[in-house]
Structure 1
Amino acid sequence: MKKLLLIPALALLSFQAALADWVVVQKVVTDGAESTMTLKAKGDKSRMDIGDKMSLMLDTASGDTSMFMHEQKMMMKISPESLKAMMAMAAQSLGGEPAAKPVATDKTEKVGENECTIYTWSGKIGNGKFWVAKDFPDAKALNELQDKMMKAIGNPMASIVPQNSDFPGMVVKSEMEVMGKKSVSELVSAKQEPVTDDTFKAPEGYQEMKMPALPGK
């Protein structure tokens, strides 16, 4: 009887974690250039700031995405249909094959305060190494949140490299080389904390730039 009661309780906790406001900060180094990526999520809305140069906002209820380039004070709105077409074109140009799954090794290593199992991945377009903290709090909800954001903004790699939800825990560090580009990502923090509605307001004074037409459209 206790086990039967535990199942809906765990499902409720998972649901509450998914609905929580989240702020996730990562340090990313790509070909020697360092930046900070900050993901903020509240309900159906998410925002990703890439340093102070670019922001991406997503409304999962409508599927609409907006990109803001701060130095140029330009913005671009991207419809769900355009994103779907972009993803299909990218997958086709890169071979159209689904990503190979990451493989667990027997090696462990500590990253910050997290005890991690090391995973490796090798695919058609590159390879990678991942440090996974299996007991990281709310890892499943966080992984799903990050994967949803990356797919929704049309990241062409979203279907051909491992995703966060491919791992049985939180990826707190990764080293990847994809199509000749090397990148290292490390989790700085992941917290449930209030995110205000103002976070998702478009900045004022930005000129809208129309999205270029896709071939065949």
Structure 2
Amino acid sequence: MKKSLLLAGVSFLALQSAFADLVLIQKATTDGQVQEINVKIKGDKTRMDMGEQMTVIYDGATSNMVMLMHAQKVMMKMDEETLKSMMAMAGSALGGTAPAAKPVATGEKEKIGEHECEIYTWSGQLGTGKFWIAKDFPHYQELNAAQDKMTKAMGSPVSGMLPQASDFPGMVVKSELILSGKSNVSELVSMKEETVEEAVFVPPTDYQEMKMPGIPGK
């Protein structure tokens, strides 16, 4: 469970952006199992629903995160200190803090949805990957900059796991990764501006709080 939560936290924070009122839908396939991921962004607040199993709510202004496990009706709250401790544990478990290898352009192109993409490959201590990059994606520079800012705020171990968003000259609309021996395919289905209500960022009152496992002092 700890490993799943660490990877979920990394994946979630990579989606945090500075734009308000955006709704993104991704299709994620892990070892053959397909899951739809819905992301709602309003200012500094982000909510990510991973199927019907888990929801993550993050406030970029306070660096506070809440994970909701719906089947058990429990929640885990994490502040900035806890998040950095979690990422330090992840970095140690995954082989240290060596800088991530840079992605390499293959010169190949392929259309993904409505976007003409350039294909990049990557190989690092965590695994290997293939990325489809759309240079015509709206606001990709701002989105990538916001992503990298959040990654650096979490602590240096994260930088050794995967390429930085700013390493790409566009938006990653599809990726195929082999991480710790597991296949992970992610594809951006849609992104649109849509009013997001503040209420979606409020944790339910009938969920029981559970302490984050394995964090000293927490």
Shorter-normalised TM range: 0.7 to 0.9
Which residue is equivalent to 1:142? 143
Separation in 1 of the partners of 2:159 and 2:57? 17
Which residues of structure 2 form unaligned runs of 5+?
1-16
Q: How does 1:94-109 map onto structure 2 within 5 Å? A: 94-96=94-96, 97-109=98-110
Q: How does 1:150-165 map onto structure 2 within 5 Å? A: 159-165=160-166
Which residue is equivalent to 1:120? 121
Aligned 8 A contact 1:58 1:152 in 2: no
Which residue is equivalent to 1:200? 201
Output one character per residue of 1:186-213: Cα deviation in whole Å (capped at 9) or x when no partner: 1101112211111111123111112235
Separation in 2 of the partners of 1:55 and 1:150? 20
Aligned 8 A contact 1:58 1:153 in 2: no
Which residues of structure 1 form unaligned runs of 5+?
1-16
1:75 maps onto 2:75 in alignment: yes
Which residue is equivalent to 1:90? 90
Using the TM superposition, give the Cα deviation of residue 51 of structure 1 relative to its aligned residue in structure 2, in angstroms: 0.7
Moved more, 136-145 or 166-175: 136-145
Aligned 8 A contact 1:54 1:70 in 2: yes
Describe the SS at the equivalent of 1:129. strand
Separation in 2 of the partners of 1:84 and 1:136? 31
User: Measured at CA, do residues 130 and 172 of structure 1 come closer, stay the same or move farther in structure 2, by a change above 3 Å?
Assistant: same
Partner AA of 1:121 in structure 2: W
Describe the SS at the equivalent of 1:39. strand
Using the TM superposition, give the Cα deviation of residue 42 of structure 1 relative to its aligned residue in structure 2, in angstroms: 0.8
Using the TM superposition, give the Cα deviation of residue 144 of structure 1 relative to its aligned residue in structure 2, in angstroms: 4.1
Which residue is equivalent to 2:55? 55
Using the TM superposition, give the Cα deviation of residue 62 of structure 1 relative to its aligned residue in structure 2, in angstroms: 1.1
User: Measured at CA, do residues 146 and 37 of structure 1 come closer, stay the same or move farther in structure 2, by a change above 3 Å?
Assistant: farther
Separation in 1 of the partners of 2:216 and 2:64? 21
Moved more, 18-27 or 43-52: 18-27
Q: CA RMSD in A?
A: 2.4
Separation in 2 of the partners of 1:73 and 1:153? 27
Separation in 2 of the partners of 1:94 and 1:111? 31
User: Measured at CA, do residues 51 and 152 of structure 1 come closer, stay the same or move farther in structure 2, by a change above 3 Å?
Assistant: farther
Output one character per residue of 1:102-155: Cα deviation in whole Å (capped at 9) or x when no partner: 11111111111110000000112211101101111111233345556677789x
Describe the SS at the equivalent of 1:75. strand
Partner AA of 2:179 in structure 1: V
Which residue is equivalent to 1:14? none
Separation in 2 of the partners of 1:63 and 1:41? 15
Which residue is equivalent to 2:66? 66
Aligned 8 A contact 1:67 1:75 in 2: yes
Using the TM superposition, give the Cα deviation of residue 68 of structure 1 relative to its aligned residue in structure 2, in angstroms: 0.3
User: Measured at CA, do residues 113 and 34 of structure 1 come closer, stay the same or move farther in structure 2, by a change above 3 Å?
Assistant: same
Describe the SS at the equivalent of 2:24. strand
User: Measured at CA, do residues 203 and 78 of structure 1 come closer, stay the same or move farther in structure 2, by a change above 3 Å?
Assistant: same
Partner AA of 1:202 in structure 2: P
Output one character per residue of 1:34-75: Cα deviation in whole Å (capped at 9) or x when no partner: 101111111121111111111001111111110000111111
User: Measured at CA, do residues 100 and 54 of structure 1 come closer, stay the same or move farther in structure 2, by a change above 3 Å?
Assistant: same
Partner AA of 1:76 in structure 2: M
Using the TM superposition, give the Cα deviation of residue 98 of structure 1 relative to its aligned residue in structure 2, in angstroms: 2.1
Q: Which structure has the larger Rg over C-alpha atoms?
A: 1
